[in-house]
Amino acid sequence: MDREYMIKWDAPEGYDPTSVLMSLPSPIAPGPREIYNYSVKEEGFYFVDRQVDPRIAGEALKLFIDEALKHSNEAIIENL
């Protein structure tokens, strides 16, 4: 069963997510199976953990959280 998260934060004007997106680990496991998926939304990052590889999904989720906190004083992580 998938686990969905919304990482809400206030992105600065003109924010470009390219650097964090380029640093993400591959979301594809052998098979091929999707490990995680995401989208960049106005209110933050939407993240889906497909429960395939917790280490890879956790690394990607941490990168998104770190990115939010690098640009904002707070990030709210909602388990959807």
- The residue extents of the domains of the chain are 3-79
Strands 28-29 and 36-41: unpaired
Q: What number is the average pLDDT over the span 32-55? A: 97
Q: What is the 3-state secondary structure (H, E, C) of the chain?
A: CCEEEEEECCCCCCCCCHHHHHHCCCCEECCCEECEEEEEECCEEEEEECCCCHHHHHHHHHHHHHHHHHHCCCCEEEEC
> For the residues 22-41, what does the mean pLDDT come to?
97
pLDDT at 22: 98
Per-residue pLDDT reduced to its tens digit, 12-25: 999 999 999 999 99
10: phi > 0 → left, psi -120 to 50 → alpha, else beta; which?
Answer: beta
